[in-house]
Amino acid sequence: MRMRIIAYFILAVIGTTALVASTGAESADATVDPAPLTLVQAIVCEQVENLAPKNPAVVFPLDLGEVACFTAFDPVPEETLIYHQWYFRDEPSARVRLRLRPPRWSSFSRIQLRPGDAGPWRVEITDVDGKIMALRRFSVVE
């Protein structure tokens, strides 16, 4: 009888240890998340050619006709959306939705310049939750 109790106790200790060990292994698996969405490049430029920004600057002439904002993300852990929000003198002017796909993605938006658009601008790059990932300021001059 006494031998049987000792055997049960040993079995219970072994069982508990195994259970704790398996729980710890699951926790370790949960902390190993994929790298978050990361913005590696945000450039305001005259135009985008072959998925590369051309003539980045902070002052653009109005007669250029358009201004582009080029953004590159690496990594892109999952398919998601980002926004390019354009502001003219603190007033919202345009909001462009862009889709990103794993594992990395580049995208751009552009605005057409019209008479009266001369002045200070900014473009905010925000994630799907509205969090500002980057902000670029530039001016359009006559």
Residues that bind other proteins (CB under 8 A): 54-62, 87, 89-90, 118-120, 122, 137, 139, 141-142
- Is the CB of 100 or the CB of 113 nearer to other proteins? 113
Q: Considering the complex, what minimum distance in angstroms separates the CB of residue 68 from other proteins?
A: 14
Number of H helices, E strands in the chain: 1, 9
Q: Strand, helix or coil at 91? A: strand
Q: Considering the complex, what minimum distance in angstroms separates the CB of residue 90 from other proteins?
A: 5
Rg (CA), the chain: 27
- Is the CB of 71 or the CB of 85 nearer to other proteins? 85
Instruction: Dig out the tokens for 35 from the structure.
Output: 């790298």
